[in-house]
Amino acid sequence: MFRRIFVLAVVLNVLMVLNAFTLVRAQDETEVLSEALIAHIAQLYTDDIWNKRDMVVGDTLFSDDFVDHHPIPDQLPGREGFMNTVELYLSAFPDLQVVNDDVFGSGDRLVIRWTAVGTHDGELLGIPASGNPVTITGIDILRIVDGQIAERWAEDNALELMGQIGALGAS
């Protein structure tokens, strides 16, 4: 009986060590972002694409297999779809400016908390230009692989934006 318990304990210990080794190895394979890379990608993403309207940056900033987990209705997949969405917002808000309120990273993730300010001077998703000034806030979480954005998750206050451009009717 003691021998069976001893063998079982040894097997369990070996399995725990193998599991721990697997977890450490998986963590080692995850890209850890340097502060310099975090700052560089955030600058390209916000300043170059959104503020300077340099759409060519998207060709190298986003990976070939980029996935946007927060697409707008009818957004095409991949890098092309995301860049089309950027252009859609920039045409609806030609004076749009985005400021990074917070930028930080953990593991292979880059987080940007942002504020965008602009004027609704163009159609947005079938909503005619209102001429209204808008301020919207949001958070983007970007997964970085080999220095490129591979995935994007985002939360923004779209309901507040719709109210500011008059899409919700009289309040």
28 or 1, which is more confident? 1
Amino acid at position 64, single letter: D
What is the tens place of the pLDDT at every residue in 123-135? Answer: 999 999 999 999 9
> What pLDDT is recorded for position 1?
57
User: Taking the alpha carbons of 111, 117, 119, 120 in that order, is the dihedral positive or negative?
Assistant: positive
> What pLDDT is recorded for position 25?
43
> What pLDDT is recorded for position 24?
43
> Could you count the other beta carbons within 10 Å of the beta carbon of residue 123?
12
pTM for this one?
A: 0.79
> What pLDDT is recorded for position 32?
85
CA angle 118, 123, 127 (to 5 degrees): 105
> What pLDDT is recorded for position 30?
61
> What pLDDT is recorded for position 27?
46
What is the tens place of the pLDDT at every residue in 34-85? Answer: 999 999 999 999 999 999 999 999 999 999 999 999 999 999 999 999 999 9
Cβ–Cβ under 8 Å, residues 161 and 136: yes
What is the tens place of the pLDDT at every residue in 76-127? Answer: 999 999 999 999 999 999 999 999 999 999 999 999 999 999 999 999 999 9
CA pair distance 109, 105, nearest whole angstrom: 5
